[in-house]
A and B are shown apart, each in its own frame.
Chain A
Amino acid sequence: MAKPKVDTALIETLAELLQRTGLTEIELAEGDSRIRVARQPQPLVASVPASAHASAPASPAVSDQAIGQAAAEEHPGAVRAPMVGTVYLTPEPGAPPFIKVGADVSEGQILLIIEAMKVMNPIRAARSGRIANLLVANGDPVEYGELLLIIE
């Protein structure tokens, strides 16, 4: 994993913007570098400015106060990562994804895969319904308990 030079000031500006506007995601591309700031519960804080002062809030430069976010957190159909690892939305590279937003899924159906230490762990739907939100992208790292998607 190459170590990109992180513009922490820029991230902070984007995070503030995100907060103020109530948006859930801002992506900024400039040449080869791409910065995406999104509201997510407890994201993997890859190179967030180290909040060396004790009183700073733990992780993200972004807090989750948006109503949409809070509702998603509370949603009975919220599907969370049961383990830390890497998300794959397709059964194999190049194949169509297991699920799409708006599609219907039935109980027991594979929603996505989380890879932990070369082991592919299928994550199955605990209930039938429609995919309302998909909050992770193919190849995303996820933490334990991170919100993956919502089934309505």
Chain B
Amino acid sequence: MFDKVLVANRGEVALRIIRACREMGIESVAVHSTIDADAMHVRLADASVCIGPPPASESYLNKVAILAAAEISGAQAIHPGYGFLAENADFAQMVGEHGFVFIGPDPEHIRLMGDKIAAKAAVRRLGLPVVPGTDGPITHEVMARDAAEAIGYPVLIKAVAGGGGRGMVVAADEPALLEGLRLARREAEAGFGDDRVYLEKYLDRPRHIELQILADHHGHCIHLGERDCSVQRRHQKVIEEAPSTVLDEAMRAKLGKRVTDGLVRLGYRNAGTVEFLYQDGELYFIEMNTRLQVEHPVTEMITGIDLVRAQIEIAAGEPLGLAQTDVRFDGHAIECRINAEDAKTLLPTPGRVQAYHAPAGPGVRVDSALYAGAGVPPYYDSLIGKLIVHDRSRADCLNRLRRALGEYVIAGLPTSIPLLQAIIREPAFVEGDYHIDWLAGFLRGWQTGN
């Protein structure tokens, strides 16, 4: 096992890793920018190194500075957390080349899953379901018509070079397809200088379901069940829960087996999350995150397994001490992401915390680096806290969440807590009847209402 681990991150996730290290008897080294000199991760670590000025590109994204900090502090391994350099294959490779251990997967797997098209092709070869679509670009109308027939309407026309919703057109039938094809091509040419488009099955109300896995260096891979992260805004998750209200035990076991078998064949190591869209009883792969995720505590609450500890043990070469049959799911857990943003306008609100009181009591967990007097600098992510509650059932969990959100006091800057309180009161959320576009609809009313 390592004696000293450098934590290449800030905020609540840096704290999360420092806490795991302390419990494991490992010394932790925090890195920080000049503006974070008084940040909680710097205070709680055993040692700290200032690595640069406030802009992330010169500090938390500065690979050379982080490796130099590892060298001068005598760390043996580097945990990247999430965000920043966590999915940077070049960084993972540099870490290894300089004789440190990267606490995460191999660079080749980070690289593979970072290329969304290559990732999709790879997981299809591994036997995972992907959204049905054309393998390559559509070159003429007959081809488009045949492909759409095979996939089944409605279909989504997407730009090969696309992103951010541009060059995407939904077609409900053949005339709409032919018209949409011309439109999407023109948009793609204008937006990306590449008019190639392809077809995919359009899901009009999918849920975001993701499976947490752990894989060691000895060919063992287990899954820790799913998280439902459908309550999201512009692809940013807002509330996550486990288990999902749409998967039953048989579906979970079947999905888990397919995913873990596939990842063993791939030779994947450490923690990872495989993300799917779910609709009408079917799951379709969208991407894999080759890192710890923000919402990992939800899984920790219902399984009792410490994911960060597992990551460190795996990186040190230890075998997973768990078989799939050892993984038990107990009760229900929900996480709310608390952001430094105005609950109505949803614009970031950096500033200084004047007073701070975190909720507590049975079944409540708060992961946050805030304290009274803490600064929330404008340079970084607006996530300032995560409130996670656990109880026997989803209904009990919702009551506990309402209670805990009501206790949370962060004075001095506006936060998203009022929005979260409103969301969890919504009948659709209470009934678990939501999909990935549900929150956008709710927000339209929320932002214009009083």
**Residues of A bordering B, CB below 8 Å:** 1, 3, 42, 44-48, 50-52, 54-59, 83-86, 115-117, 119, 141-146
Contact = CB atoms under 8 A, between A and B. Distances in A.
Contacts of B98: 117
Interface of A is mostly: loop
Interface stretch (B36-44, B288-296, B305-313, B421-429): B36-44
A42 B34 CA distance: 10
Contact of B65 (A1, A3, A54, A83): A83
A29 B298 CA distance: 51
Contact of B64 (A57, A59, A116, A146): A116
A92 to B, nearest CB: 19
A44 B42 contact: no
Contact of A141 (B27, B45, B72): B72
Given A50-B44, A144-B34, A84 B27 contact: no
Contacts of B40: 54
B434 to A, nearest CB: 37
B50 A144 contact: yes
B73 A46 contact: yes
Nearest to B48: A45
Contact of B68 (A1, A52, A84, A146): A84
Contacts of B53: 144-145
Contact-residue size bin, chain B (C-beta under 8 Å from the other chain): 20 to 34
B38 A117 contact: no
5 contacts: A44-B49, A45-B48, A58-B43, A83-B65, A116-B67
Residue from A47, A48, A119 with most neighbouring chain B CB atoms (10 Å) = A47
A48 B46 CA distance: 6
Contact of B51 (A45, A56, A115, A143): A143
B55 to A, nearest CB: 12
A146 B43 contact: no
Contacts of A84: 49-52, 65, 68-69, 72
A84 to B, nearest CB: 5
A34 B72 CA distance: 18
Main secondary structure of the interface of B (DSSP, over half): mixed
Given A54-B43, A119-B64, 6 more contacts: A48-B47, A51-B43, A55-B371, A86-B72, A117-B71, A141-B49
A86 B74 CA distance: 12
Given A3-B3, A144-B65, A47 B27 contact: yes
Contact of A117 (B34, B67, B74): B67
Contacts of B51: 84, 143-144
A56 B98 CA distance: 34
Interface string B58-84: 010000110111011110000000000
A53 to B, nearest CB: 9
A98 B89 CA distance: 39
B365 to A, nearest CB: 17
Given A83-B65, A116-B65, A141-B73, A59 B46 contact: no
Interface in B360-380: 371
A32 to B, nearest CB: 18
A146 B71 contact: no
B403 to A, nearest CB: 24
Nearest to A42: B50
Contact of B37 (A54, A58, A115, A119): A58
A44 to B, nearest CB: 6
Contacts of A142: 72
Among A52, A144, A146, chain B packs the most CB atoms within 10 A around the CB of A144
